[in-house]
Chains A and B, each alone.
Chain A
């Protein structure tokens, strides 16, 4: 999958000597229409867009993303709607990579093969499944690869050396490094220096893999981690959506402004 849109995005960012910016929003937050609008607008600044498929018992998400997910579910988002959002988005910007992220039960209920086929049809580029760790995810990851979809492996500060090796060797174009022991949206409790040191350990195993860092990244912290191949911002964006809704302000404009500011900090 060397020529995948995901790899391509990292190459483009590297040419500009900056990390790739990855954004995360929950599909259907706060409506199908609105989340597509947000996606279209922030894709002008983000290199890769992650789209969460919301689950009502998320065991690894903090308050901000939970709030977004509950809001989306309450507003009636269904899995097929999520695929239709991706479809519409890809008609608008076919070269911008989209990664779907969520929990395994949704895929399991939809049926693994059907889910992957649907991803392929709607041109999803990658998948992150939070609660399907290595090595349990091996067969699913292989199925993804066969359909040209990147299965993105996660690595955390608790990952042992032995696991690290195995996970990297089974990974595709991109690896997600979780910066600290935390759910999403926690305050960055580890120094950037330490995070980058851990990040290097992964890179040293295999320089060709694109490694992104996520969890705890905000406007305040993003600059200090700019040596990474890519940086993911999720909760900070979801928080802005909640804030804008509360204040009855324009969600699309406000979220786009945040993403613009994030991008400016890493150029």
Chain B
């Protein structure tokens, strides 16, 4: 299994849609074959279409607000000693998280395909909130599937979705979290694929959804590359790009332009959700060595039992609370290009406390997992090592959880 150079990772799959011969694919019911094929063709056409690219770039700049800033966390770096810690504040993007890139692109594709309805899944509520924003912007009717447990714990994002005119469909089956929301959303699409477009909220699902999402979030690393050149006049000798990984869309977007670099120069570190310290449950299929399985139309490392039943997961972070992971991260793991680890709930909360004590940024619980790893390793390196964390979400949505756990407003 080998990575190719000069070809985007999203395109390094075989004719059946598998990366490395075994991750990804399209395990879908017959009914979805045609809509998935149509979408695949349309996306192939659009990504080569100059007008479409121009349109995408226009909305990325004027609607999403690219580029998001790249800042040094001076106080945090000084406090920890060791490596320099920087952050890409992707949460500055319109709506407060990276999910807006994928949502905007899906809305544009939906328009191009002449469909009037768009549906999507959401865990932390960001994918749903952004899709509802994009739907409103482009005049589409929007339905969001969300686990009942997540609706309770991510209320601010639910309020935003409703304000944007989207209908939230609560999902009561299974663990009532993201995994069930994605299942229910797919079931809805099976029944309504003739007039409805489906947006999968991360780089998961059947092959084409991995590709569209990855193609959208790549914007993050395109910006970062330019910002690095501006700041350091070259790509520094020792960089570590640290990103949280749930489905893996922000991590892929953060890394994609740097995958071809030698890993000694640019190390890629993915941080999964280890769950509560005292719980056996987690959402870390890569770093806790789960077996390969098929979930939501793709083969990936999946938290599951010997029989192939999908395990319940547990994490303080709704956005990472997912038993599967993107096939492209499985591929990066097996080719050893990226290193994956996990942070538990407590470590993420502590990281949040420390970062917000020293810096004027407000990372949500998802990137707080990435900060936990940055904080852990920074003291081990010297100043010439540049650690960059993707602060991919804003903590506004977490205010209730933070209040409960930290007594903060």
B-binding residues in A (CB < 8 A): 55-62, 66, 70, 73, 78-79, 103-110, 130-134, 136, 154-160, 163, 178, 181-183, 186
Nearest Cβ in chain B — how far from A191, in angstroms?
A: 16
Chain A neighbourhood of B82, CB < 8 A: none
Nearest Cβ in chain B — how far from A10, in angstroms?
A: 21
Chain A neighbourhood of B174, CB < 8 A: 56-57, 70
Given contacts A136-B25, A159-B30, A163-B33, contact A62 B187 (CB under 8 A): yes
Chain B neighbourhood of A157, CB < 8 A: 31
Are B31 and A158 within 8 A (Cβ)?
yes
Main secondary structure of the interface of A (DSSP, over half): loop
Q: Can you list 10 residue pairs at the A/B interface with Cβ under 8 Å?
A: A57-B296, A62-B187, A66-B173, A70-B174, A105-B295, A130-B29, A133-B28, A158-B31, A158-B35, A159-B34
Chain A neighbourhood of B262, CB < 8 A: none
Are B308 and A181 within 8 A (Cβ)?
no
Nearest Cβ in chain B — how far from A179, in angstroms?
A: 11
Cα-based distance from A105 to B323 in the complex (angstroms) = 14
Chain A neighbourhood of B34, CB < 8 A: 158-160, 163
Cα-based distance from A159 to B38 in the complex (angstroms) = 12
Cα-based distance from A158 to B309 in the complex (angstroms) = 29
Are B190 and A154 within 8 A (Cβ)?
no
Nearest Cβ in chain B — how far from A239, in angstroms?
A: 16
Are A108 and B29 within 8 A (Cβ)?
no
Are A105 and B28 within 8 A (Cβ)?
no
Are B193 and A181 within 8 A (Cβ)?
yes
Chain A neighbourhood of B37, CB < 8 A: 160
Given contacts A104-B27, A105-B293, A130-B29, contact A110 B308 (CB under 8 A): yes
Chain A neighbourhood of B310, CB < 8 A: 56-57
Are A131 and B294 within 8 A (Cβ)?
yes
In the complex, B306 has a CB within 8 A of chain A? yes
Chain B neighbourhood of A58, CB < 8 A: 183
Are A79 and B307 within 8 A (Cβ)?
yes
Residue in A closest to B17 when the chains form the complex, CB atoms: A136
A-B pairs, 6 with minimum CB distance: A109-B308, A158-B34, A156-B31, A105-B294, A105-B308, A60-B29
Are B309 and A55 within 8 A (Cβ)?
yes
Chain A neighbourhood of B173, CB < 8 A: 66, 70
Contact of B191 among A103, A160, A183 (CB under 8 A): A183
Residue in B closest to A131 when the chains form the complex, CB atoms: B27
Contact of A60 among B190, B291, B299, B302 (CB under 8 A): B190
Chain B neighbourhood of A133, CB < 8 A: 26-30, 33
Contact of B294 among A103, A110, A158 (CB under 8 A): A103
Chain B neighbourhood of A158, CB < 8 A: 30-35, 193-194
Nearest Cβ in chain A — how far from B198, in angstroms?
A: 12
Cα-based distance from A126 to B304 in the complex (angstroms) = 26
In the complex, B95 has a CB within 8 A of chain A? no
Are A61 and B187 within 8 A (Cβ)?
yes
Contact of B33 among A62, A110, A159 (CB under 8 A): A159
Task: Given contacts A55-B308, A56-B310, A59-B186, list 9 more A-B pairs with CB under 8 A.
Answer: A57-B180, A60-B187, A108-B294, A110-B308, A156-B29, A158-B31, A158-B35, A159-B30, A182-B190
Are A182 and B30 within 8 A (Cβ)?
no
Residue-by-residue, is B5-28 near A (CB-CB < 8 Å gives 1, otherwise 0)?
A: 000000000001000000001111
Cα-based distance from A70 to B180 in the complex (angstroms) = 13
Nearest Cβ in chain A — how far from B185, in angstroms?
A: 9
Are A105 and B187 within 8 A (Cβ)?
no
Residue in B closest to A58 when the chains form the complex, CB atoms: B183
Chain B neighbourhood of A57, CB < 8 A: 174, 179-180, 183, 295-296, 310
Cα-based distance from A57 to B26 in the complex (angstroms) = 16
Chain A neighbourhood of B32, CB < 8 A: 158
In the complex, B75 has a CB within 8 A of chain A? no
